[in-house]
Structure 1
C-alpha cells in the first residue's frame, strides 16, 4: 500500500475530494433547477409594483413639506455651497431632462490604455521636489519613484545640474512637470531641454508639461500683456517637437488658493485664456496650437461634490471653448492636473489635514483628474518630513489599490446630483464669463484691480466664518486640542499690495488670534 509522501500527496487527496464534491453538488443543483423550472413558471406579464403609481419630484417635495409640519422647505432642506449654489435635498430623473448633452462627456477622462491588463481608470501619482541640494533631491526622487509615484513636479530656476538631479531616472516611463521660477520661462526651460536632447530618448517620450500661467503670474510680478503673449508663443514654439509635453496651463488653482469660490475660479480662469487667445491670434499664433499645448490646473478643496463637479465642468467648458474658436478638442485628450488644496489646511492639529487630503484626492479622481499631486499634510508648518511625504504619496496608492477607484472609468457619470451640479456650474460660468467680457475682459478687470478685490472679499468672508464659528473646522475651531495654542509663534506677515493676489488659508484669521510670541 502506497504511503503519503508529504505535502504533495495531501494536496492531491484534497484536490480529488474537491472534484468529487463539486461533481456531486452540480448534479444535485441541476436536478433542483429542473424542479424549480417545472414547478414555478412566473407570469412575466404580472408587474409586481403596478399598484404603486409613478411619483413626480413635485409630489416628493409636497410630501417633505407635509412632514416638516409647516416649516419652510427651502430654509430647512435646501443647502448652499460657499459660492451660493443651492443644493436640493434630493434629485430625480426629471432633473436630467435639460442635461442630455452631458452624456457625450461620460467616460471621456482619458484615452483607453494601449497596455493590456491595466485598469480602466488611470492617473499619475505626483511627487513634488523643491530643489536646494541636488544630491538630496535625487535621493528623494528615486525613493518616491520606487514607492508608488510615477510623476514628478520640479521647481526649476535654470541653474540645475540635471545629470545629477535626475540621475537614474528614466523619463520615458514617467511624467515630469516643471514649475518655472521668475524670469523668462523660455530661458529657464532651456537647460532642461538641452539635457533631454543629449539623451537617447525620442521627443515623443517626454511626457508632462510646464506649470506656467503668465496671467496668474501677474498677481506676483507686474508685466504687460504683450510680454506674456510673446513668452507663451516662444514656449509653444520650443515645445512643438514634444507632442506629449504641454507648454502652459490655465491655473485655476491660483484663485482657489487665494480664497475664491468654484464659480470665481472657473470665471477668471477661462476669462484669462480668452484674453490670451485674442492676443495670440493678433500675433499670428493659431488657436489650435494653444489648445493642443495647454492643460488645466486645479486645486481641489473640501466641498466634496462641488469639487467633483468643478473639475468635470472645467473639462467640458474647455472643450466647448475650443468649438467657439473652431478648434476640435476631444474631451479625453484634455490634460487635467489636480493638487490637494493648501487653502483648506490648518496649522492647528495638522493630522486632520490627512483626512482633508483624502477627500480632496477622491474628489479629484472622481472628477476626472489625469495627474494627482497630494501635498503633505504638514506643509503648512515648517515643511514636510519623510513621514508626511510617505503619507501623501500613499493616499493616491490606497485609493487605487485598496479603494479600487481605478476599476471604473467614470463612476459618477449619470449621477442625478453630480450631473445637476455640473450643469449649474457650467451655466454660471458661461453667464459670469459673458459679464467679464462685457466689462472689458480679464486684462481690464486685472488692471482696475477688480479681480483682486472680488477674490479678497470672498477670502475675508470665508476666513471670518471660521473665526466666528459660522462654519465648523475640526481641529481648528471645533474640538481643538487644549495644548495647541502653545505651539504657535508669531509669524511674519507679508504685505499684499492692491494689485497682488497671494495664497492664503481658511484658518489664517483664527490662527493669528491664537498666535503667541515665542
Structure 2
C-alpha cells in the first residue's frame, strides 16, 4: 500500500475523531424528538430493517463489522469470483431464453449482442426436440454456447444437440454450454421424478469428449418462484448440488470431474445488495462443499443469474425494465458468469422484438457504456456487503443442514418439508405486500386504471404440478381482473366517491393517498361533484386529523342520509361515529379492497 507524505493539508486535522457511541447518542436524540424514546443501546436496532431469514440491515456499518476474509478473485473460497480476472475480459455471458422455434428471434439475438442461448425444450412446454435443428438453423455452434432446459426429455434433447454438433463438424473441445439435466429441479416443478441413470452417462460423456460442455444444471429458480427466501434458495441449491455429486461419483467420476459437470442458476432481484450478497455467498458455500470433498481448487461455482420472474408485473409492465436493470447490475456486481434478462413483457406471453432488444441491450449498456466489468468484485470491501454475505451464508448453510437431516433434497421435496418452509416464507411476505410494506410500483402503488393493456401472443405453458409459482402482484392482479370483468360486463368500473373536508391544504395529501389505494383494486375514485352525483355507493372521507375532529361525525351522518352504503375514512382509527372502515398506511389493503368489491357486487 502506498503511503502518501504528510502535506500539512489534512482537512480533518482540527476535528476530533467521532466515535460510534457519539453517533448512537445523536441518533437517540433524533428518535426522542420524533416520539420514540429508546435507550442509546437500542438506537441502531430501532432504525434497522428486518430482512427475510432473520437478517437485519442496520443503518450504519463500520470496520467493527468484521466478516471472514473473502480471499482473492479466482482462489478459494471464491467469494470474490471464480476467475482471477472476474468479468473484466469482455463482461459476462449474455444469455437469452427461448421457448419457441422460428420467429427470427434466435438469429436476431445473436447478431445483436447475445453470446449464448438458453433453449426450453419439450413437446408441450417449449421447442419440440425434433425442431431443435430448425431453432438453431444458421447458428455456428462452435461460437454460440447452447444451454438446454428439457426436463424429462433431457436425454433425447441432449442426443439431438450432440448430433447437431457432429453434423456441423464441431470438435469435441469446441462444444460449450450445458445439456441441462436437472432431475430434482424437474421434480420440484412437476412433482414427478424422472430416470437419472442417463444423467450419469451424459456426465461421463461430457467429461471424456466435451470438456467445455457440462451435463447438469442446479436450478434454484423453482424455489425462488415458489416464494422462497434468498437463504432457502441457496440451501436448496446446495442440497441439490450435493445430491448430484453423490450420484456422479457413485457412477465413476472422480470429485474434480463431478464438480466440473455442474452449473448453478439463481434469481437476481431488484434488491440489489441482497442479490450481490447471495451470489457471493453461493460461491463461498459451494467452495466449502468442494473443500469437504477434498477438491478445494475445483470449487469455483459457475453461476447463471436470471432476472427474477417473481418481481415481474402484468400491469404497467414497462416498469419491469427498471426492475430488470437493477437486477442485472446486481448480478454483474455479484460476479455472475452468465446473465439472462427476462424481457419486460415476459409475464404476458411471448416477448416481441422490441422487448427482446431492450432485454439484451440492458447487459450491453452495463458492460459497454457503464463499464461495470472494468472492476473485479466492485462490492468487495464494503462493510455492509461483506457482512450481509457472511450472515446470508450462515442462514443458507443452516437450511441446507436441515434438508440434509431430512434425508436430502429429494426426500425434502417428497415429504413436503421444503414446500412447507417455502410456503411459510411466502405467507409472511404476502402479508407485507398486502399492506404495501413492500410496494409494487404500477400495481399496489401508482396504478393507472386507464392504462392500455399490453397484449402478447400466448407462450407455452410452463411445467406444473409441483411447487407453486408466485408473483408479487398476484393478490392485486386478482382484484384488477375482477374490476376488468365488471367493466366489460357493465361498461363502467366500480366507483368510490372521495369526499374532501376542509381546505385543500388539509385534504390534498389524504385525497391522493385514498385515490392511489382504491385504484390498486380497480376501483375508480370520483372527486368531482357531490356524492349523489358520483354514481358511487361508497364514500371515503379525506382530510386532516384536526378537521376530522370537527367534521367527520357530521359528514358521515349526512352521507348515511344520502344513502351511502359504506363510509371509509382516510386516516388512523378514531372516535368518529358513522365510519365503517379506516384506510391508512400499513392497513391490509388487499382485504379492504376485496371486501369493497364484494359489497359492490363485483364478482
Q: In which range does the TM-score fall when normalised by the shorter chain? A: 0.7 to 0.9
- In the other structure, the counterpart of 2:472 is 506
State the SS of the aligned residue for 1:128.
strand
Matches within 5 A, 1:482-497: 482-484=449-451
Q: In 2, Cα distance between the equivalents of 1:86 and 1:306?
A: 11
Matches within 5 A, 1:264-343: 264-330=232-298, 333-343=300-310
Q: In 1, Cα distance between the equivalents of 2:408 and 2:274?
A: 26
* CA RMSD, Structure 1 to Structure 2 (Å): 3.0
User: Shift in Å at residue 464 of structure 1?
Assistant: 3.5
* 2:143 is the alignment partner of 1:173: yes
Q: In 2, Cα distance between the equivalents of 1:376 and 1:210?
A: 24
| Conserved 8 A contact 1:175-1:207 | yes
- In the other structure, the counterpart of 2:549 is none
- 1:90 pairs, out of 35, 60, 81, with 60
- 2:112 pairs, out of 117, 141, 147, with 147
| Conserved 8 A contact 2:188-2:222 | no
Q: TM-score, normalised by structure 2?
A: 0.70
Q: In 1, Cα distance between the equivalents of 2:45 and 2:213?
A: 49
* 2:183 is the alignment partner of 1:214: yes
Matches within 5 A, 1:23-38: none
State the SS of the aligned residue for 2:348.
coil
- 2:81 pairs, out of 94, 99, 108, with 108
Q: In 2, Cα distance between the equivalents of 1:476 and 1:504?
A: 15
Q: In 1, Cα distance between the equivalents of 2:276 and 2:70?
A: 18
> Which blocks of at least 5 consecutive residues in structure 2 are unaligned?
123-127, 489-603
Q: In 1, Cα distance between the equivalents of 2:316 and 2:224?
A: 22
* 2:321 is the alignment partner of 1:354: yes
| Conserved 8 A contact 2:191-2:467 | no
Q: In 2, Cα distance between the equivalents of 1:504 and 1:197?
A: 41
Q: Deviations over 1:87-119 (max 9, x none)?
A: 1111111213x4224456465343549xxxx95
User: Shift in Å at residue 482 of structure 1?
Assistant: 2.1
* Cα separation, partners in 2 of 1:484 and 1:446, compared to 1, 3 Å: same
- In the other structure, the counterpart of 2:212 is 244
Matches within 5 A, 1:413-432: 413-432=380-399
* Cα separation, partners in 2 of 1:107 and 1:443, compared to 1, 3 Å: closer
Q: In 1, Cα distance between the equivalents of 2:471 and 2:401?
A: 30
- 1:156 pairs, out of 121, 125, 139, with 121
Q: In 2, Cα distance between the equivalents of 1:46 and 1:484?
A: 58
| Conserved 8 A contact 2:101-2:131 | no
User: Shift in Å at residue 278 of structure 1?
Assistant: 3.3
| Conserved 8 A contact 2:226-2:469 | yes
- 2:173 pairs, out of 173, 189, 204, with 204
* 2:236 is the alignment partner of 1:263: no
User: Shift in Å at residue 391 of structure 1?
Assistant: 0.9
User: Shift in Å at residue 341 of structure 1?
Assistant: 0.8
Q: Deviations over 1:301-322 (max 9, x none)?
A: 1211001100111112111110
Q: Deviations over 1:238-260 (max 9, x none)?
A: 32211111111211121111111
| Conserved 8 A contact 2:79-2:284 | no
| Conserved 8 A contact 2:101-2:134 | no
How many residues get paired?
460
Q: Deviations over 1:322-359 (max 9, x none)?
A: 0111123456x532111111100111111011100100
- In the other structure, the counterpart of 1:453 is 420
* Cα separation, partners in 2 of 1:209 and 1:495, compared to 1, 3 Å: closer
- In the other structure, the counterpart of 2:363 is 396
User: Shift in Å at residue 442 of structure 1?
Assistant: 2.5
Q: In 2, Cα distance between the equivalents of 1:224 and 1:126?
A: 28
| Conserved 8 A contact 1:467-1:507 | no
